[in-house]
Structure 1
Amino acid sequence: MGILESIDSWIWGPPLLILVMGTGILLTVRLGLLQVLRLPKALRLIGKAPNEGNGDISSFGALSTALAATVGTGNIVGVATAIKMGGPGALFWMLLAAFLGMATKYAEGLLAVKYRVKDKHGQFSGGPMYYIENGMGRRFKPLAILFAASGVLVALFGIGTFPQVNAIVTSTESSFGIPVAVTAVVIAILTAVVTIGGIKSISNVSTKIVPFMSVLYVAACLGVLIRFAGELPSVIALIWESAFSATAASGGFAGATIMLALRSGVARGIFSNESGLGSAPIAAAAAKTKWPAEQGLISMTGTFIDTIIICNLTGLALLVSGVWNGSSAGASMTQDAFASAFPAFGAEIITVSLILFAFTTIIGWNYYGERCVEYLVGVKGIKPYRYIFVAIVAGGAFIKLDAIWLLADIVNGLMAFPNLIALIALSGVVVAETRKYRKHTQDEAAAKFSLKSDGLPKAE
Structure 2
Amino acid sequence: MQAINDLLLMLDGVLGSAPWFPWVLLGVGLFFTVYLGFPQIRYFGRAWGIVTGKYTDKKAPGDTSHFQALSTALSGTVGTGNIGGVGLAIFLGGPAALFWMWMTAFLGMTTKFVEVTLSHKYREQTEDGTMAGGPMYFMDKGLNMKWLAVIFAFATIVSSFGTGNMPQVNNIAVSMEATFGIAPMVTGGVLSILLALVILGGISRIAKVTSTLVPAMSVIYVIGALAVIFYNIDNLLPSMAAVFADAFTGSAATGGFLGATFAYAFNRGVNRGLFSNEAGQGSAPIAHASAKGHEPVSEGMVSILEPFIDTIIVCTLTGMVILSSGVWTEKHHNSFQQADIEYVQGHYTDSNDGDRQQLFNYLVGKDSEVETYNGVIVVRDGEAVNEDFTIVAARSVAEEVTYAVKGFPFTGNLEIANGKPVDLDVTISGLSLIHSAELTTKAFTKGYFGEYGQYVVSIGLLLFAFSTAIAWSYYGDRAVTYLFGSRWVLTYRVFYVAGFMVAAVADTTVVWNLAAVSIVLMTLPNLFGILLLSKEMKQTVTSYFAKGGAGQPSPNGDKQPD
Counterpart Cα distance in 1 of 2:549 and 2:457: 45
Q: 1:369 aligns with which of 462, 476, 489?
A: 476
1:289 aligned partner, one-letter code: G
Q: What is the DSSP-based 3-state SS (H/G/I as helix, E as strand, rest coil) of the residue aligned with 1:398?
A: coil
User: Greater CA deviation, 274-283 or 252-261?
Assistant: 252-261
Structure-2 change in CA distance of 1:126 and 1:252 (3 Å): same
- Give the conservation status (yes or no) of the 8 Å contact 2:98–2:243: yes
Match of 1:36 in 2: 41
Q: Describe the superposition over 1:289-332 as per-residue Cα deviations: whole angstroms up to 9, x where unpaired.
A: 00101000111111110011101111111111111212222112
Match of 2:488 in 1: 381
Q: What is the DSSP-based 3-state SS (H/G/I as helix, E as strand, rest coil) of the residue aligned with 2:259?
A: coil
2:118 aligned partner, one-letter code: L
1:234 CA displacement: 1.3
Match of 1:215 in 2: 219
Match of 1:332 in 2: 438
Counterpart Cα distance in 1 of 2:74 and 2:134: 16
Counterpart Cα distance in 1 of 2:552 and 2:148: 41
1:268 aligns with 2:239: no
Counterpart Cα distance in 1 of 2:54 and 2:104: 27
**Count of aligned residue pairs for this structure pair:** 451
2:66 aligned partner, one-letter code: S
Structure-2 change in CA distance of 1:339 and 1:201 (3 Å): same
Q: What is the DSSP-based 3-state SS (H/G/I as helix, E as strand, rest coil) of the residue aligned with 1:339?
A: coil
Match of 2:535 in 1: 428
1:311 aligned partner, one-letter code: C
Over the matched positions of the two proteins, sequence identity in percent amounts to: 41
1:175 CA displacement: 1.0
1:2 CA displacement: 2.3
1:192 aligns with 2:199: no
1:393 aligns with 2:479: no
1:359 CA displacement: 0.3
- Give the conservation status (yes or no) of the 8 Å contact 2:165–2:499: yes
1:435 CA displacement: 1.7
- Whichever of the two has the greater Rg, that structure is 2
Match of 1:455 in 2: none
Structure-2 change in CA distance of 1:442 and 1:389 (3 Å): closer
Counterpart Cα distance in 2 of 1:64 and 1:270: 18
2:435 aligned partner, one-letter code: A
Q: 1:237 aligns with which of 237, 241, 246?
A: 241
Q: Describe the superposition over 1:322-357 as per-residue Cα deviations: whole angstroms up to 9, x where unpaired.
A: 112122221121112110112142111000000000
Match of 2:63 in 1: 56
Counterpart Cα distance in 2 of 1:49 and 1:128: 28
Q: What is the DSSP-based 3-state SS (H/G/I as helix, E as strand, rest coil) of the residue aligned with 1:340?
A: coil
1:187 CA displacement: 0.7
2:309 aligned partner, one-letter code: I
Counterpart Cα distance in 1 of 2:85 and 2:311: 11
Match of 2:7 in 1: 3
Q: Describe the superposition over 1:92-128 as per-residue Cα deviations: whole angstroms up to 9, x where unpaired.
A: 0010011000000111111111000111111111000
User: Greater CA deviation, 227-236 or 118-127?
Assistant: 227-236
- Give the conservation status (yes or no) of the 8 Å contact 2:280–2:527: yes
Counterpart Cα distance in 2 of 1:365 and 1:196: 13
- Give the conservation status (yes or no) of the 8 Å contact 2:164–2:468: yes
Match of 1:45 in 2: 50
Counterpart Cα distance in 2 of 1:187 and 1:116: 32
1:161 CA displacement: 1.3
Counterpart Cα distance in 2 of 1:244 and 1:122: 51
Q: CA RMSD in A?
A: 1.9
1:400 CA displacement: 0.4
- Give the conservation status (yes or no) of the 8 Å contact 1:49–1:59: no
1:178 CA displacement: 1.5
Counterpart Cα distance in 2 of 1:205 and 1:8: 34
Q: When the two structures are superposed, what TM-score results if normalisation uses the length of structure 2?
A: 0.78
Counterpart Cα distance in 1 of 2:82 and 2:283: 17
Larger RCO (CA within 8 A; separation ≥ 6): 1
> Any runs of at least 4 consecutive aligned residues in structure 1 with deviations exceeding 4 A, and if so which?
446-452
Match of 2:337 in 1: none
2:520 aligned partner, one-letter code: G
Q: What is the DSSP-based 3-state SS (H/G/I as helix, E as strand, rest coil) of the residue aligned with 1:355?
A: helix
Counterpart Cα distance in 1 of 2:482 and 2:538: 27
Structure-2 change in CA distance of 1:450 and 1:61 (3 Å): closer
Q: What is the DSSP-based 3-state SS (H/G/I as helix, E as strand, rest coil) of the residue aligned with 1:160?
A: coil
**Which consecutive unaligned segments of at least 5 residues does structure 2 have?**
331-432
Match of 1:316 in 2: 320
Aligned residue runs from structure 1 range 99-248, under 5 A: 99-137=106-144, 140-156=145-161, 158-248=162-252
User: Greater CA deviation, 47-56 or 197-206?
Assistant: 47-56
Counterpart Cα distance in 1 of 2:461 and 2:222: 13
Q: 1:74 aligns with which of 65, 69, 81?
A: 81
1:288 aligned partner, one-letter code: K
1:218 CA displacement: 1.8
- Give the conservation status (yes or no) of the 8 Å contact 1:23–1:423: no
Q: What is the DSSP-based 3-state SS (H/G/I as helix, E as strand, rest coil) of the residue aligned with 2:463?
A: helix
The structure in which a higher percent of residues are strand is 2
